Every structure is written in structure tokens, then in C-alpha cells.
A and B are shown apart, each in its own frame.
Chain A
Amino acid sequence: MEEPSITLLEGFHAIELAMEDGRVAGLFARTGTGSGARLFLFVHQAVIFATGGLGALYAVTTNPLESRGEGLGMAARAGAVIADPEFVQFHPTAIAIGRDPAPLATEALRGEGAMLVDEKGLRFMPAGPQGRRACAARCRRARDPPRTREWTQSVLDCREAIGAEFPKRFPTVYAACTRAGIDPARQPIPVAPAAHYHMGRHSPATIADAPRSNDYGPSRMCRDRDCTAPNRLASNSLLEALVFGTRARKTYARALLLAQAAARHRRPNASLPPRRRMSCAMP
């Protein structure tokens, strides 16, 4: 954030897109709460959404509390169409110790042979060749266990597979457990499925069908290239942040150049209408 062309404003809570003739024309944001709240309007030709997911809408999540789907909801309320909103990835082994967000017990533990079992010690997933089924995909793991029986507390038993090596090989998980008074080398780790990643995004039609709006989101561009599909793979987030963040920047810059050119030549521009009849429903 040391780029001189970027001004970082902290402490603002974006709450609503400002619309003008059906297009995004800026953003309403506020500071403070209650009677001390102040409302601001940032007028601009383009808005990039980098607002995170919606995991915090769920009872158990690995996402930070701020990931409440506000960016997605803001765009939807402004009329954007949303692609694949129901594709929510649940991680099967969040550590169920009452923390919010829930710490993650990485799937690498199961890769090392840790077993997901119920409170009676019965495995949720039958053993397969070389233990492959114990390492089933996240979405499948999260939805399969309770299918044939009542949901019970599940635990991840690492005692035999990892044991005393735990602190050395998985220090982050070990630290999370010990903070809750659990020694994963000697005790099973209580786990629960948790909302982990949201694949939903704004539709490219929002841009393609101009002049509907001017909002851009790196994640949308990523997923429109089928990088994610219904179940995200590990490290795809890096693609979103780097590769498609760059693409979003270029698209954004192009939109601004078009706006400047239209202003210079003083001619009507179908994709960038003059700013009038500003409207936004505010309380």
C-alpha cells in the first residue's frame, strides 16, 4: 500500500452502492455507529469488490467475523446478478472448541493417517486402499458422515498416526488445541464441519451487458475461467489474489480511461452516462 496512486482509507464501512441510471456511480460508506455515525459518498466511475466471503453467516466457520457476505449482498441489492451463490465449501475438520472463527485441523492430518471417528470410536469413512477414502474431498467429507446416522460429535484421532510428533510436525494446529486445553498427541481433537469458502460471485453479465453496472471483482473473473468450480481447490485463492487481481486492475484502468476520453470529447458515451439523477435508498 505504498503505491502513491493508492489512498488507503481505514475505518469506513461500505454499506451501499450509489446508482445512477442503473449503473454504479460510487459507494456509500460510513464511520462510527448509532447516533455518531457519519455517512460518506465516494463518487467514482468504477468499483472493485474485494469484500471476502460469507462464512460468518454460518454458525461454525473458519472465516473472520467480517466475512458476512456484505459485498455480495450489496451488489445483489443494486441489481447485479449473482452466479453460483449456493456453492459454499464446508471444511469437515474445523476444531470445535467454541472459538469464532474456528481454527482449522488441516487435511494433512488425515493425510498422515489421522482418523475421523464419532464419539464411539467408529470411523465415518470406511478404510480404502492406502487410506484414500479417509482423505476424501472436503465437500464430500462434510456432507457424507451424517447420512446414515444421527449427527454426533466427531473427533479427529491423531494419537496413533502422529502421536508425540504432533508439536513438531503441526505446530499451528497443536497451538490451537493446547490453548483450548487439548493435547492432540494424547487426546482426540473435537471437530465439526465449518463454512470455509464461498464460490459465489457477481456475474460477468453485469459487465458484459453494459450499461448495467461498473463493479468488478477479482474472484468473479477467476471463477468465470472455471478455476474454482463448485468445490474450490487449495491455493486457488492465490490465483484470485494475484492473477485475477491483476486482470481486475487492468479492466478498472480501462474503464477510467474510457470515462476520461468521453469527458474530453464531450460526447455521449453509452457505457458511461452523465452523472445525474443520483439515487440510492438510504434509511
Chain B
Amino acid sequence: MTRLVGLERDAAGLTEALAVISQVERAGGPEPALLNMTASAKLVRGWRLRPPRKPRRALPDGLSGDRRDREADFPDLAGAEKTASSSTLPLREGRNVRA
């Protein structure tokens, strides 16, 4: 898993990485520790496929002031999977790299 889900930075590599993550998940069965790892990997990879953005800003009370921003910037696992499966967005210039 670490070899195949390594430092992949273009959209094709990320998509391939997500496919591998899913394969690993299916092969591992309902093992909670593995599911936790693959969930994190999906979140990272899924959201990496989205357009570049700045980090979410928080108000002093710790809450986002804009609900739309909050929803957009707070992905859940299902959202990450959906984004990963539907995204064809290119990454920003300078990140078109596979190492």
C-alpha cells in the first residue's frame, strides 16, 4: 500500500492511488484498523483532487462565519469518496508531478 499510494501528485496518479486504496480495503475485509487507515488515505486523496484553495479561516470563537464555506471545507468520508469518483479537475500548475 505504501508503495502504490506514495507521492502521487497529478490527477491521474491520485485517481490511481484511490483505486488502489479501494482494492486494499476490499482485500483486507472488515478490519477496523485497516479501514481507519484507508479512510484517512481517501480523505487526503479525495480532497487533493479538488481545486486549490486557501485554508478555512475561523472566527475567534472557533466557528466558521460562513455556512457555505464551512460545508465546502469540511469534508466527510462520503464526500471524499464522491469527489474522488467524479473529479476530473486538473491540479494547479507546478503540481503536475509524479515522483
Chain A interfacial positions (CB closer than 8 Å to B): 13, 15-16, 28, 54, 56-60, 68-74, 76-77, 79-88, 90, 143-144, 146-147, 151, 192-193, 195, 198-200, 203-205, 208, 221, 223-226, 228-230, 281-283
> Which interface residue of B36, B73, B76 has the most chain A CB atoms within 10 A?
B36
Give chain A residues whose Cβ lies under 8 Å from the Cβ of B48: 86
Q: How far is the CB of B3 from chain A (nearest CB, A)?
A: 6
Are the C-beta atoms of B2 and A59 separated by less than 8 Å?
yes
CA distance A115 to B70 in the complex (A): 42
By DSSP majority rule, is chain B's interface helix, strand, loop, or mixed?
A: loop
B12: chain A residues at CB < 8 Å are: none
A-B contacts, 27 of them at CB < 8 A, read: A57-B5, A58-B2, A59-B5, A60-B7, A69-B37, A69-B39, A72-B36, A73-B35, A73-B37, A81-B74, A82-B74, A82-B75, A83-B73, A86-B47, A144-B94, A151-B98, A151-B99, A192-B99, A203-B70, A205-B63, A208-B63, A224-B62, A225-B62, A229-B55, A230-B55, A283-B31, A283-B32
Chain B residues proximal to chain A, CB less than 8 Å? 1-3, 5-7, 9, 29-33, 35-41, 43-48, 50, 54-58, 62-64, 70, 73-77, 80, 94-99
Shortest CB-to-CB span from A100 to chain B, Å, is: 9
B74–A76 touching, CB < 8 Å: no
Q: A81-B74, A147-B96, A193-B7 are in contact. Are A15 and B33 (CB under 8 A)?
A: yes
**Residue in contact with B9 in the complex, picked from A15, A73, A143, A229, CB distance below 8 Å:** A143
Which residues of chain A come closer than 8 Å to B31, judged between CB atoms?
Answer: 283
Q: Are A200 and B32 in contact (CB under 8 A)?
A: no
Contacts of A86 in B (CB 8 A): 43-45, 47-48, 50
Which partner residue on chain A sits nearest B5 by CB separation? A57
Q: What is the distance, in angstroms, from B84's C-beta to the closest C-beta of chain A?
A: 11
**Choice from A13, A83, A143, A144 contacting B33 with Cβ under 8 Å:** A13
B45 cross-chain contacts in A, Cβ below 8 A = 86
Contacts of B64 in A (CB 8 A): 204-205
CB distance from B72 to the nearest CB of A (A): 11
Q: Shortest distance in angstroms between B93's beta carbon and chain A's nearest beta carbon?
A: 8
Q: Is the CB of B74 within 8 A of A205?
A: yes
